[in-house]
Structure 1
Amino acid sequence: MAIKRIACYWSLFKTTVIFGTGVYAGVYIAQNYQIDKVENPKVLLDKAQDFIKSKLGDLSDTKKDK
């Protein structure tokens, strides 16, 4: 029982440290570098789908040529 409790505390501590490091890095980068705004997730998803469809189309065209 005590080992599970220690493992739980360790997991919580590790997660908190990783999250805090990510927040600190994000704030540091935002303050010291000119970063473009991230697009709307819907727009990014549409771009990813278009990219995948174009690659699949290229792949099917290559197979037809053989």
Structure 2
Amino acid sequence: MGLGDKISNKAQEAAGKAKEKVGEATDNERLQAEGAQDQAEAKAKQAGEHLKDAAKDVTGQ
């Protein structure tokens, strides 16, 4: 996984957490859901990147 991808994914995850917390503080369910979705997307991207890295390690590329 490239450093840029790691930073981007972590930034998306952090933004999702912040959005979710703001939604909780303001009792805004839509914002909470969007924040949770952003976090889930970031984690899925991270998992995909880890799989790519593992495949490269196995194939030696």
- TM range, normalised to the smaller chain? 0.5 to 0.7
Distance in 2 (CA, whole Å) between partners of 1:9 and 1:16 is 11
Aligned Cα root-mean-square deviation (Å): 0.9
Q: Which runs of 5+ in 2 are unaligned?
A: 1-27
**How many percent identity over aligned positions?**
0
Q: Does 1:17 pair with 2:44?
A: yes
Q: How many pairs were matched up?
A: 34
Higher helix content, 1 or 2: 2
> How far 1:30 sits from its partner (Å)?
1.2
- TM score, norm. by length of structure 1: 0.48
For residues 35-55 of structure 1, the C-alpha deviation after alignment (integer angstroms, 9 at most, x for no partner) is 4xxxxxxxxxxxxxxxxxxxx
If asked which structure has higher relative contact order (CA below 8 Å, sep 6+), I would say 2
Give the secondary structure class of the aligned counterpart of 1:11: helix
> How far 1:10 sits from its partner (Å)?
0.3
Moved over 6 A (4+): none
- TM score, norm. by length of structure 2: 0.52
